[in-house]
Amino acid sequence: MTEVPHWLDRLVAQAQRIRVPRHLLPPDGSGRAAAVLMLFGEGPFGPDILLIQRSTRGRRHAGQPAFPGGGVDPDDGGVVAAALREAEEETGVDPSGVQVLGTMPELYLTYSDNRVTPVIAWWRRPSAVHAASPHEVDSVERVPVAELVDPGNRVMLRHPSGMAGPAFRVRGMLVWGFTAMILDTVLREGGFERPWDATRIEDLPQSVIDLASRG
């Protein structure tokens, strides 16, 4: 069992003050409540965070790396319980070893019409994880923060719409879109970010576009 590190305390203190971009502000009276679990731990390579690779057979966000999470069910009682439930269902993580520390502001995903609350947690007693829901998840990774902040693993990706956003190439995954945007913010607010070339812009691969367009 490990204590919450100072850098994570700092992140939680900043979390609710993070400014939400205009295009991610939830519209009044619209969208389904959802939550994702941003689970930080201490692994063999230092601080890490839990990510999943969604199934390529899925109807929504097929093949995309993401935080564990999903919609808030009526029986959940709120976003924190929903994030923990979804993480257990998708990765097999033991919720009793997870210490919830706080939340980030709610963000709106137009594509899925979800109002998503990122829940920040510390893995004080790590448990084994795996793709516990094969029809939803292809793989599960504890991604070291050191790999995420490596300038060689960072790039800006341009969507066919013309918009560009941060992305990461780690553990055989291309992390982009909503998940990458949150990671970019968290790494900066947590004091981990290293200088990288944000002028390095590449087009989003067609194979990724094809998967993402399923619905």
Report whether 78 contacts 72 (CB < 8 A). yes
Query: What are the sequence ranges of the domains in the chain?
Result: 6-212
Residues 27-32: contacts with CB under 8 Å, at least 24 apart: 27/108, 30/108, 30/113, 30/115, 31/108, 31/109, 31/113, 31/114, 31/115, 32/71, 32/72, 32/113, 32/114, 32/115
pLDDT, position 22: 84
Residue 114 clears pLDDT 80, i.e. is over it: yes
Q: What is the mean pLDDT of the chain?
A: 92
List the alpha helices (DSSP H) in 16-121.
Answer: 79-91
Nearest of 197, 188, 68, 179 to residue 129 by alpha carbon: 68
The whole-number pLDDT of residue 76 equals 96
What kind of architecture, by CATH, is found in domain 6-212?
Alpha-Beta Complex (3.90)
Mean pLDDT of 124-152: 96
Instruction: Please count the residues of the chain.
Output: 215
| pLDDT number for residue 15 | 86
Residues 172-215: tens digit of each pLDDT:
999 999 999 999 999 988 889 999 999 999 999 998 888 877 65
- 47-55 average pLDDT score: 96
Q: Which two tokens stand for residue 94?
A: 């033991």
145-173 confidence digits (pLDDT tens): 999 999 999 999 999 989 899 999 999 99
Cα 107 to Cα 19, 46, 67, 72, 140: the distances in Å are 11, 29, 14, 14, 24
Q: What would the two tokens of residue 3 be?
A: 């204590």
- What global pTM score does this model have? 0.93
What is the structure's pLDDT at 8? Answer: 92
Q: What is the mean pLDDT of residues 110-121?
A: 92
